[in-house]
Amino acid sequence: MIELLYWQGCPSYPEAKTLLEQVLTELGRDDLVLMTEVRSDEEAERLHFPGSPTIRVDGRDIDAEGADSRPALNCRIYHLPDGRVSPVPSREQMEAALR
């Protein structure tokens, strides 16, 4: 199961969803992406949501580095392969998690 958890207050999740769907197509997969909106601090705690967007494949976060960050309604920090900061996971992270 592929799940994308997001918070409306952060503008990055549509880009993450589009990139995720592109990667799935390129890998020849037709999985559905379950979109889960996180609306409150309580939900963030309950879902162990470390920021938006968070993508889990079979329950495993595609970015282990940030998976255990404090649950909060915020934009999540990712690092691209070249070290730059991004609010969206990299294509490489997605590919690695989905292969």
CA torsion 18-22-28-32 (nearest 10°) is 0
Binder among 59, 81, 83, 84 for another protein (CB under 8 A): 84
d(CA 97, CA 1): 12
Contact 34, 2 (CB under 8 A): yes
72: contact with another protein by CB under 8 A: yes
CB 81 → another protein: shortest distance, Å? 13
Choose which of 1, 11, 34, 37 interacts with another protein (CB under 8 A).
11
Query: Given the rule CB under 8 A, which residues bind another protein?
Result: 9-12, 41, 72, 74-78, 84-87
